[in-house]
Chains A and B, each alone.
Chain A
């Protein structure tokens, strides 16, 4: 009897997990949400569990009691949560365990600890990981703030300890302005939250996001699979990721990788996980958080290491021993992932919904496509805007950039706007090419005008003119003085010749 693996997710990641399930000779089950009853991933599954929305409008992918109930009814052995949704929900992981279902991920306790940022940070400190320098507790007056800021160095950021949403927050560049800024931020916080206490933290002006992939089993073995750089973000969400990072030397990679392993071992971690660091221009780095799920950008790591992370994630969930040793992990070439989101980069990345009339992906040996859609699919407003990922492998960074760019030019989607034109611009920008880009690139450098170019503009003018002309000439043809012939003679000739 085949093991039954239920995927509590949708889109490209559901299809990706089904692939691994089949490789491991398991039967893959998915939910059919009535928010997208014709979704592509359903076609790949061995069994579809219809999950109509009840009276409440809660998506099945977040409805813990129903998931557990349906999983039990269908005699599911394992649950893979994918990313997002319930992938880092400790209650869900715990309930799976209580009901005898193998949750593919770390333990509920680990998910909970890593989900609480202060707990995760204190555990990281215990394992010797550096944190962004900051005040341990609230600073209550301007003088103390100045003294502390001078100790850690400017610029610093003042944050309201009760705060959120940017209120009571100030970036301070120099000692002269700290007392004034402290007072105004503190007053603001007092007015907004009834508490004027402030935290002080070192402010990284141009940080990079570097994360380490780790993989551990339930028997104490942990390895790392190198880093990914995910500095290219919009609205704090990643859009292009690469592996390895041009910002790390081999020594630093080993140092940070060892640190990641040490941390994972110190907390008894197993399954796949990601340890995120923020890196300053001077190369200093600090622990940010740990993600306890498979990540969207895992394919770049797979491309350069040849390790199938989801296979291993499932295998270690089955108590298997990790047979890979750190020495087995070799970094081969360079990989870049571009996320295809149905968003309008000309209009502050606002989401686009509707039909995908036609979608075409590049096909070649060095490009991997992960997609949740095909021509004719519908993008609904209910789920994430990411519909696909284009991952390209090159022999080095330059080669990878060149090949990715070619792949992006080959990609086309008719019907909706996507982030692909944006990615094309990024890949050609000197700051990306020289690997100097930071998490602030979109805010500081990008303008929608960068998406335009003269060739496209001219061809657009031609297309607009042909569309207009076919109407105009048709109208004119009603007048007896115009000899009407179809405009399409040129069109036909060119097509025949083609």
Chain B
């Protein structure tokens, strides 16, 4: 598991902030590194915090953020004196509400099928984990060769269909992934 992956498994730290104008921010808050916004780690410094107030430094500028109002998952934030309204969702509720990739054909496109018959020798992730595009999910042994099977998108593991040690057939469904790339 390379540390260079931006999403670090814990999907409960991934949120969607939506504005009324349709603009959507996919915000991942890792434990110990800078926030990932729409798939890019941003060099944002958190410089001050108070009740309902945060200040950030970014691009050599100071950003003063005040929470103006807050109702359930709606929040109005005043940034440098101008108000912006957002509605916020965890990635789980966002997916549950079908707001991401609700095209059925597309959903299947990111599922992992066995490329060849073989045996599952290792599984690195669990249901509900966040996975990065190109990140290994499991090892499939076929004809004495170990093949790392990687995710084809950034996403949330919906369901791992197989168990360690299990033999699988070609094209058998191994892992269901919900893409978070839009």
Which residues of A approach B to under 8 Å, CB–CB? 346, 357, 409-410, 412-415, 417-418, 420-421, 451-452, 455-469, 472-473, 476, 482, 485, 487, 489-491, 493-495, 497-498
Decide: A459 and B56 in contact? CB cutoff 8 A.
yes
**B59 on interface, CB distance cutoff 8 Å:** yes
Q: A413-B81, A451-B82, A461-B17 are in contact. Are A467 and B29 (CB under 8 A)?
A: no
Decide: B13 and A469 in contact? CB cutoff 8 A.
yes
Give the interface centre of B15, B59, B62, B70 by most chain A CB atoms within 10 Å.
B15
C-alpha gap A463/B46 in the complex (Å):
10
**B173 on interface, CB distance cutoff 8 Å:** no
Decide: B86 and A485 in contact? CB cutoff 8 A.
no
Decide: B83 and A461 in contact? CB cutoff 8 A.
no
Q: Name the one of B31, B56, B59, B78 contacting A417, with C-beta atoms under 8 angstroms.
A: B78
Is chain A's binding surface mostly helix, strand, loop or mixed?
helix
**B102 on interface, CB distance cutoff 8 Å:** no
Least CB distance, B18 to chain A, in whole angstroms: 9
Q: A418-B81, A455-B58, A456-B63 are in contact. Are A468 and B88 (CB under 8 A)?
A: yes
B113 surroundings in chain A (CB, below 8 A): none
* B27 to chain A: closest residue by CB: A465
B84 surroundings in chain A (CB, below 8 A): 452, 456-457, 460-461, 464
Q: A489-B31, A494-B45 are in contact. Are A464 and B77 (CB under 8 A)?
A: yes
24 contacts between A and B (CB under 8 A): A410-B62, A421-B81, A451-B82, A456-B63, A457-B84, A460-B77, A460-B84, A461-B25, A461-B27, A462-B56, A464-B67, A464-B75, A464-B77, A465-B15, A465-B29, A465-B88, A467-B54, A467-B67, A473-B13, A485-B31, A490-B30, A490-B31, A490-B35, A494-B47
Decide: B32 and A457 in contact? CB cutoff 8 A.
no
Which residues of B approach A to under 8 Å, CB–CB? 12-13, 15, 17, 19, 23, 25, 27, 29-35, 37, 44-47, 49, 52-54, 56-59, 61-67, 70, 73, 75, 77-84, 86, 88, 90
C-alpha gap A485/B33 in the complex (Å):
14
* A344 to chain B: closest residue by CB: B83
C-alpha gap A495/B47 in the complex (Å):
6
Q: Name the one of A412, A469, A494 contacting B29, with C-beta atoms under 8 angstroms.
A: A469
